[in-house]
């Protein structure tokens, strides 16, 4: 019986991969994926609106002279800046119901996670913006007979807010992209819609390509708006 000839280790074998992008599949996915855009925007901007309020409150508390007010604010900022937002939303959706004795809607959990997470980062933006204003501005306001609150809101805050616009815009873009993680709790945002569509059509490359373009369109539009606001702020300064 003839012995088999062993393969020659010096021989090279080439494997050809043929892939053709299915444009029709990508186009067909757009109407279905577009259903996730309202949820993405709702979670993003709803959470950011609440986060902005939290950021102002805790940002100002973090520079307060009272330790009783400053320490809780610092603890909040460090906790939510030091833990992943994915862990935060999982805790809110799966862990918090055990404490409150009832389920939490996925959309509510997503908005809460964006609010708490963005609020911590916005707090640092507020703190940095306020502290960047020269103390002489406060002294000038007091010398004009204004109270400290009046001096802050009429002189310090408008100047600080103009300086906050670029980092606030960056945080908004980050929060929009963070919503892609919330597919793990079943929120019907862009990525979740894509996952469901892929499970039925097996066109992962095309669908995720369209999802990426949709996120890019949202963030680029927001960047353009923020640049216009920044230019107007500089022009009016």
Is the confidence at residue 231, as pLDDT, over 90? Answer: no
pTM score: 0.86
* 15 three-class SS: coil
- The pLDDT tens digits of the residues spanning 46-55 come to 999 999 999 9
Q: Please report which confidence band the pLDDT of residue 25 belongs to, taking 50, 70 and 90 as the band edges.
A: confident
Residue 22: band (very low, low, confident or very high) from pLDDT cuts 50, 70, 90: confident
Return the pLDDT at 14. Answer: 57
Token duo for residue 57? 């409150």
Average pLDDT estimate for 2-17: 58
pLDDT of residue 232: 76
Q: Are 22 and 207 in contact (CB under 8 A)?
A: no
> Quick one: pLDDT band at residue 128, thresholds 50, 70, 90?
very high
The burial of 14, by beta-carbon neighbours within 10 Å (0-12 exposed, 13-18 middle, 19 or more buried), is given as exposed
Residues in Cβ contact with 191 at an 8 Å cutoff, skipping those fewer than 6 apart: 36, 180, 182, 183, 211
pLDDT, position 220: 94
* Angle, vertex CA 38, rays to CA 37 and CA 41, nearest 5: 85
In Å, how far are 49, 68, 76, 126, 177 from 61, measured between CA atoms?
19, 10, 11, 10, 28
What span, in angstroms and rounded, lies between the C-alpha atoms of 97 and 105? Answer: 10
Pair 62, 128: CB distance under 8 Å: no
Q: Is the pLDDT of residue 143 over 90?
A: no
Q: How many helices (H) and strands (E) does the chain have?
A: 11, 0
Sign of the alpha-carbon dihedral angle for 99, 80, 149, 46: negative
CATH number attached to the domain at 36-174: 1.10.3720.10
Provide CB contacts within 8 A for 69, sequence distance 6+.
Answer: 61
DSSP states of 75-111: HHHHHHHHS-HHHHHHIIIIIHHHHHTS---HHHHHH
Q: Please, are residues 48 and 218 in contact by the beta-carbon 8 Å criterion?
A: no
| Residue position matching structure tokens 């992943």 | 84
- Does position 6 have pLDDT exceeding 70, yes or no? no
């Amino acid at each position: 019986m003839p012995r088999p000839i062993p393969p020659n280790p010096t021989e090279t074998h080439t494997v050809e991969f043929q892939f053709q992008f299915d444009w029709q599949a990508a186009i067909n996915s757009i109407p279905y994926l577009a259903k996730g855009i309202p949820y993405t925007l709702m979670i993003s901007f709803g959470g950011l609106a609440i986060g902005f309020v939290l950021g102002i409150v805790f940002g100002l508390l973090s520079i307060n002279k009272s330790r009783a007010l400053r320490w809780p604010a610092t603890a909040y900022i460090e906790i939510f800046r030091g833990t992943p937002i994915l862990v935060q939303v999982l805790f809110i959706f799966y862990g918090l119901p055990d404490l409150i004795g009832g389920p939490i809607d996925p959309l509510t959990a997503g908005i809460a996670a964006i609010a708490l997470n963005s609020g911590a980062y916005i707090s640092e933006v507020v703190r940095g913006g306020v502290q960047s204003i020269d103390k002489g501005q406060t002294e000038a306001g007091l010398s004009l007979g204004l109270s400290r609150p009046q001096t802050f809101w009429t002189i310090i805050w408008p100047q600080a807010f103009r300086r906050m616009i670029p980092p606030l815009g960056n945080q908004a873009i980050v929060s929009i992209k963070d919503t892609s993680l919330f597919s793990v709790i079943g929120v019907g945002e862009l990525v979740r819609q894509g996952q469901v569509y892929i499970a039925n059509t097996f066109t992962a490359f095309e669908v995720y390509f369209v999802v990426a373009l949709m996120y890019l369109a949202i963030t680029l539009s927001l960047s353009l708006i923020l640049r216009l606001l920044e230019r107007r702020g500089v022009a009016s300064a």
